[in-house]
Chain A
């Protein structure tokens, strides 16, 4: 098992030998920040490519295949184009809010992105209320979307952002409760601790059996809704609202929304992996020591990313199959079904924990 903890502390110690502590920490912070931003961009590119290919295969098409081998460079060309596309300022919009919105959205998703446990010892933000922090920062995105609608001074974005506001705030509740279910099972809010437990005692989805599976399913639905992705893509609701809250954005401002959409998908899948599918913990089957040994040889980061992409594939499958819901259906789905079920489920999980009914692999 790779443990990044030893590497990071070794690097830290080496840097302390050359400079005072504040300088070392400053440099580390900058390096880590650059690392996150790079990773963020890389994953966005991978995801966009994956989405275009996956949807093409669902739709009996080929997808991008002319730019680079198998169309691998397609997204790069999109990025180059987007970077130098004109950013339009509208005469009657609220300039400040309008320009601020995409940055808020991206900031929110970057902060959440930084909470993901990449590997053992490979956390960037990790403290005792990590999950709480994650939920808190992820909801800054809503503000960005609302401002986008408000600042554009246009009616489609306005309706789109109002929808988004109603939808995101509602689904945050389900997400919060399903997270609490896991917290009840693990007894901690620290993300590294949750994953470590799963590495030691088996994945949460197995440990918590029935309530954990229910929570996982609810999380997948709610998480998909949080990302504003089909079938919950009403804020963008292409057919009625042209492009929803980002109708008036062009160039890189729109690019930020585009990036954030895909990264939110990654984050939602990443959190699902962390909470239910064991994060970076390798697949272990009790009794098969040889198999377990082989699994251990695969680095944790590979496990984490692999599982996350599996969940992403599930979400893409859903997106490219279902038609779009309507706003009242979305809200009644949340308030009439998902929230009560997840509350009951939390109770069930509490009983499972209290009576020690969980499975320890």
Chain B
């Protein structure tokens, strides 16, 4: 496995350069011509070669009736074991539909499938939730925002919005604010779900399923709870202190970012990514910038690529330290929590000096960075690396090697490789179960193809493995930064772009390795100055969804350890 990857890496890098090379020619003259005139559109409308972006995807259209069989074939015959994303889209006249992103872990091949149903009143699409468990939540998300009902899905309740919400807000013709004034009465949560099926005559039948029976002892963890790391709501059925079932309710911080993006211009959309996964702010913004740059063929200088890589890794260290702190806090080791924060402040200092922000950084821009690195940047980072290496030993002393912590984490919340892959749990949480899913290795971007680092993979799959995985990743991140920090090439920190950035019509997908998994951006453009549909692959959503599988049969105290080690950020889930 490992060898194969190493072989792959240079190939991918070469093809990438080859793809980028022709793009230079059209981009360069424009960039030179622009600064003189404030209205370039008037003076120079001529050259529009409209090269396809290198990340453009061309989903294959599959009729809804044939969808399930086709997906089954793809999964079993073509080994497409990882369902990356389901994006619901409203194509207006064409109807409502979904785009499925599939990625094969074995071969590294990607496949995109699209399905459309013209019926806007009662759209039905067969489910794929029996093939990939992650589809359960993705399909509920599509139902919530587009009203597409999935035939054969066991649980067709809304997931983000209130159960009494009227309309489907992401449809282009929906007016959510008019239909849904602010309701101050408490939401009534139903204990039953509906399953839709099509019988032999083609009629839709409804079957009712029970989520919680009246005799279940149910405890609400959340929405306001110290250890859900934000506003997340788990309805937990208990048997004594053992967990029988978990039903996550999301959307308490659903801010409609994707809908907002449809009315924003491309540079404006950047502002919101930092506020989703605030512990992966650099990376998610990097992903969005990269998607737009590749789609619009904007060349980015080498300096920018290297600085972005360093910043991504600093952000990863920041996030993993916070992960450690919060886990300690959840498990009652308050002192370790403060040790983590002490070191995190050092990373924030570096960010603050260069970017001006501590948490919401707003550093990456389309075509480059908001500002060049601070003169002190390299010195600070070089001071930080040995400091962090020294302090990480303290983490081991105070918490990780502590006998109580080991007892509480080892063997708790086991996730098998199959569960993780089917559940789409990328990032360290998936790698702790033996899944090689590091985007930095599998599809190198920015400067990752020129640094040497290990992909941390463990096989135990328990909470302790997830903790160690992240601790080792801090080590690897330091290693990457060390290799790059002295080799930041000279060059502009910002490529000149057009004043109004327009992405050629098409569908695009790019992903980066975020702090807690693969963060992807699906962009659909009609050639306008704002996106037609911008969908993010949330890193946390699969992690929340796997909670049920990981927690069943464990004690309620273990639930805190498990959701601590899975490490999700709620605003990123709800978006």
**Is chain B found bound to chain A in the same assembly?**
yes
A194-246: which have CB < 8 Å to B? 230-231, 233-234, 237-240, 242
Contact flags (1/0) for A59-97 with B, using CB distance below 8 Å?
Answer: 111000000000000000000000000000000000000
Total contacting residues, chain A, CB less than 8 A: 27
Nearest-neighbour CB distance to chain B for A235, whole angstroms, equals 12
Interchain CB contact under 8 A, B558 and A326: yes
- Say whether chain B's binding surface is mostly helix, strand, loop, or mixed: helix
Interchain CB contact under 8 A, A234 and B557: yes
A319-333: which have CB < 8 Å to B? 320-329
Interchain CB contact under 8 A, A326 and B557: yes
- Pick from A242, A321, A327: contact of B557, CB under 8 Å: A327
Contact flags (1/0) for B551-568 with A, using CB distance below 8 Å?
Answer: 000011111100000000
Given contacts A320-B334, A323-B332, A324-B332, contact A239 B226 (CB under 8 A): yes
Q: Who on chain A is nearest to B412 by CB? A: A326
- Pick from B220, B331, B338, B558: contact of A323, CB under 8 Å: B331
Interchain CB contact under 8 A, B555 and A328: yes
- Pick from A61, A234, A238: contact of B338, CB under 8 Å: A61
Contact flags (1/0) for B63-96 with A, using CB distance below 8 Å?
Answer: 0000000000000000000000000000000000
Interchain CB contact under 8 A, A240 and B560: yes
Interchain CB contact under 8 A, A325 and B404: yes
Interchain CB contact under 8 A, B225 and A242: yes
B508-567: which have CB < 8 Å to A? 555-560
Contact flags (1/0) for B319-361 with A, using CB distance below 8 Å?
Answer: 0000000001111111110110010000000000000000000
Contact flags (1/0) for A303-324 with B, using CB distance below 8 Å?
Answer: 0000000000000000011111
- Pick from B404, B405, B560: contact of A239, CB under 8 Å: B560
- Pick from B338, B339, B399, B557: contact of A240, CB under 8 Å: B557
B219 contacts the other chain (CB 8 A): yes
Interchain CB contact under 8 A, B332 and A239: yes
Q: Who on chain B is nearest to A326 by CB? A: B557
A55 contacts the other chain (CB 8 A): yes
- Pick from B334, B407, B408: contact of A59, CB under 8 Å: B334
B398 contacts the other chain (CB 8 A): yes
Interchain CB contact under 8 A, A240 and B408: no
Assembled-state Cα–Cα distance A318/B359 (Å): 34
Assembled-state Cα–Cα distance A328/B338 (Å): 28
Nearest-neighbour CB distance to chain A for B411, whole angstroms, equals 12
Interchain CB contact under 8 A, B330 and A239: yes
Interchain CB contact under 8 A, A240 and B331: no
Contact flags (1/0) for B110-121 with A, using CB distance below 8 Å?
Answer: 000000000000
- Pick from A55, A230, A237, A321: contact of B398, CB under 8 Å: A321
Nearest-neighbour CB distance to chain A for B507, whole angstroms, equals 43
- Pick from B226, B342, B404: contact of A231, CB under 8 Å: B404
- Pick from A61, A324, A327, A328: contact of B331, CB under 8 Å: A324
B180 contacts the other chain (CB 8 A): no
What are 25 residue pairs bridging A and B, where the CB atoms are less than 8 Å apart in the complex?
A: A55-B334, A59-B334, A59-B339, A60-B339, A155-B217, A238-B226, A239-B226, A239-B329, A239-B332, A240-B556, A240-B557, A240-B559, A240-B560, A242-B225, A320-B334, A322-B404, A323-B336, A323-B399, A323-B402, A323-B405, A324-B331, A324-B332, A324-B333, A328-B555, A329-B404
Residues on B facing A (Cβ under 8 Å): 217, 219-221, 225-227, 241, 328-336, 338-339, 342, 398-399, 402, 404-405, 407-408, 555-560
**Other 15 A-B pairs with CB < 8 A, given A321-B333, A323-B328, A326-B407:** A58-B335, A155-B217, A155-B219, A155-B220, A159-B556, A231-B332, A237-B332, A240-B559, A242-B225, A321-B398, A323-B402, A323-B404, A324-B333, A327-B555, A328-B555
